Structure 1
Amino acid sequence: MIRIRLGSRGLGGVRFAVSPVGSAKDLLRLVGNSPGTLTPAWRARVTEALARHRLGLLAVVGGGGPLGYAPDFIRPEPPASLTDIDTGLHQIATTPHERIRYELEEAVNGHAWDPGSGRPAPTRLLRALDRGEEHFAHRLADEMSRFWHTALESSWPAIRARLEADVAARASEIVRCGLGETLNGLAPNLEWRDGELVVHFRTESIHQLTLDADAVILTPSVFVDWALFCAGEPPGTPAPRTPLIVYPAAQVDCLPPARESSLIGATRQKLLAELGQPRTTTEVARRLYLSPATVSYHLQILHRAGLVSRARRSREVLYQRTGG
């Protein structure tokens, strides 16, 4: 059981984030711990990606050991509500050396692999560590990049739409029901009680930890069915991170590719009508008598939903409605 004690300051620091690297880590964890829960198509795709690119080190670190723990530094702390894959890969590659040493020592000495059980850490992992933390981090970032582009990139727009829809639904629920009730509904093993956010494990004897925190990051995932606790540590931990909880994304309606104004909204419908030919943000703003900031905000959402494309011309970015 993990108890995260949040005072008024901590409650003010609760935020939601969507992470492409985090989703890749969750997928690797499933492959390493319970591949039978993946659909045959996903299982084949992941197996092919790991084998074709020889991503053995990533499979070992991301999948975790027989005791279940997987080092958290390959799931970097999301710096914003939505981060791109390149930001996450850069964070992995530049992980502080002391953080890598701390997490891998914890894994090798018992959290993931029990040296006394006859199931010690894999030789592949130990040999990679022999070349130093910097080499280790860069190699994992490179392997994660290849895994992402082979196994996840093509499905990411649909996954991201579902994750963003989940976060939007949680925000609406907070407005209607309050933060406490929303937290209690995130996962069956997550509860808010007496000023604490509590994460229960399937086997409660695995780990017991109580933390005082000024913030918590909540990130949805399509590859988990229970809440997972990541990266929160007691005082004195090298390069400490904000406690992060992964929870199962709800089955909520996502923005579909259809362009009905009832789903898209009047402003975005007008934007799409103007983008039959390539236009800049400034051009659209001038034609619709809107501020460039407002237009930019809506264009980003339409682009993520696959409804508009964008291309750079010199110093300008041109947007155009997909399909003409």
Structure 2
Amino acid sequence: MIRIRLGAQGLGSVRFAVSPVGSAGDLLSAIGSSASTLAPPWRTRTTHALSRHRLGLLAVVGAGGPRGYAPDFLRPEPHAFQTDIDTALHQIATTPHDRIRYELTAAVGGHSWDPDSSRPAPRQLLGALDRGEDHFARRLADEMARFWHAALAPSWSAVRARLEADVTARASDIAHCGLAETLNRLAPNLEWHDGELVIHLLPGSVHQLTLDADAVIMTPSVFVDRAVFCAAEPPGAPDPRAPLIVYPAAKADCLPSAQDHPLIGAMRLKLLAELSQPRSTTEIAQRLYLSPATVSYHLQILHRAGLVTRTRRSRHVLYQRLGGTKPGTR
């Protein structure tokens, strides 16, 4: 069990973020520890990317991690709601040396909560570390970049649209029932109780941790079905960062194809119903009695998901549903 004591100030500093490199890390972890939970297209694409591009070090360190631990520096702290992939990769490549050494102590020597582990650290990991922390960080960033472009980038528009829609739904929940109740709804093993965020681990886990925090970052993921805790910061940890909790995004089928991305919410269904022919943001807003800003926001998400086309005619940008078919039909 993990307990994060926040208090009133910390609760007020809880924020949400969408992380492309975090999603790649979740996909790696899933293929390493629970591949059967992934849809077959994701399993095929992930294993193909790892083998074709010879991403052996990334597979050892990130796909479940040696001794069951994936170092937190592979999931840099997002400093904004959305961090682009290049910025995140730069964060990995420039991880401070003492942070790398601190985190890899568990990978090489075993967890402090599992001192009896007798499994040796993988030779590939030890060999990479022998060349120094700079080389180690740069190589992992390079392998993560190749994995991202091969496995996740082709579907990122659809995945990102789902993650953004999830955060939008959570914002609505906060407005209607408050932050504490919203946190209780994020995952079956996550609860807010007496000023603490409590993460219940899998049966049989002996890991116990309680820490104080001034903030927590919540990131949705399409590749987890339980809350996952990252970035434990006990006293004395170098280059400390805010605790980060990955939680399962709202249920929907998410396959490696933008065309298969499900529509989330009645609003976007209404918009698609209006787009059997090209229409501008202003025209749709007038037809549905909405503000142009609201329509523009939803159209941007539909466009990134690959569900509508966008063309410019004179001074107007026109949107149209792909194929001109009715929503929900093929």
TM-score, normalised with respect to structure 2: 0.80
Question: In the TM superposition, what is the alpha-carbon distance from 1:162 to its structure 2 partner?
Answer: 1.0
Number of residue pairs aligned between Structure 1 and Structure 2: 300
Q: Distance in 2 between matches of 1:93 and 1:265?
A: 46
Q: Which amino acid aligns with 1:33?
A: S
Tell me whether 1:271 sits opposite 2:281 in the alignment: yes
Check whether the contact 2:263–2:269 (CA below 8 A) recurs between aligned residues.
no
Check whether the contact 1:92–1:138 (CA below 8 A) recurs between aligned residues.
yes
Aligned partner of 2:259 in structure 1 is none
Aligned partner of 2:224 in structure 1 is 224
1:169-188 to structure 2, matched below 5 A, reads: 169-188=169-188
Unmatched 5+ stretches in structure 2: 253-261, 285-290, 323-330
Question: In the TM superposition, what is the alpha-carbon distance from 1:236 to its structure 2 partner?
Answer: 1.2
Tell me whether 1:46 sits opposite 2:46 in the alignment: yes
Unmatched 5+ stretches in structure 1: 275-289, 312-317
SS in 1 for 2:187: coil
Q: Distance in 2 between matches of 1:65 and 1:82?
A: 25
Over 3 Å counting, the alpha-carbon distance change for 1:3 and 1:80 in structure 2 is: same
Check whether the contact 1:191–1:197 (CA below 8 A) recurs between aligned residues.
yes
Question: In the TM superposition, what is the alpha-carbon distance from 1:140 to its structure 2 partner?
Answer: 0.6
Q: CA RMSD in A?
A: 3.3
Q: Which amino acid aligns with 2:185?
A: G
Check whether the contact 2:25–2:74 (CA below 8 A) recurs between aligned residues.
yes
Aligned partner of 2:89 in structure 1 is 89
Q: Which moved more, 1:26-35 or 1:189-198?
A: 26-35
Check whether the contact 1:67–1:113 (CA below 8 A) recurs between aligned residues.
no
Q: Deviations over 1:42-90 (max 9, x none)?
A: 2121111111110000001101346422111111111111222112111
Question: In the TM superposition, what is the alpha-carbon distance from 1:111 to its structure 2 partner?
Answer: 2.6
Over 3 Å counting, the alpha-carbon distance change for 1:102 and 1:187 in structure 2 is: same
Aligned partner of 1:107 in structure 2 is 107
Aligned partner of 2:147 in structure 1 is 147
Aligned partner of 1:281 in structure 2 is none
Check whether the contact 1:113–1:119 (CA below 8 A) recurs between aligned residues.
no
Q: Distance in 2 between matches of 1:39 and 1:295?
A: 32
Aligned partner of 1:31 in structure 2 is 31
Q: Distance in 1 between matches of 2:141 and 2:245?
A: 22
Over 3 Å counting, the alpha-carbon distance change for 1:272 and 1:98 in structure 2 is: farther
Q: Which amino acid aligns with 2:85?
A: I
Question: In the TM superposition, what is the alpha-carbon distance from 1:209 to its structure 2 partner?
Answer: 1.1
Question: In the TM superposition, what is the alpha-carbon distance from 1:296 to its structure 2 partner?
Answer: 8.8
Q: Which amino acid aligns with 2:181?
A: E
Over 3 Å counting, the alpha-carbon distance change for 1:135 and 1:304 in structure 2 is: same
Q: Distance in 2 between matches of 1:260 and 1:32?
A: 37
TM-score, normalised with respect to structure 1: 0.81
Q: Which moved more, 1:70-79 or 1:198-207?
A: 198-207
Q: Deviations over 1:134-164 (max 9, x none)?
A: 1111111110111111111111111111111
Q: Distance in 1 between matches of 2:113 and 2:207?
A: 15
SS in 1 for 2:235: coil
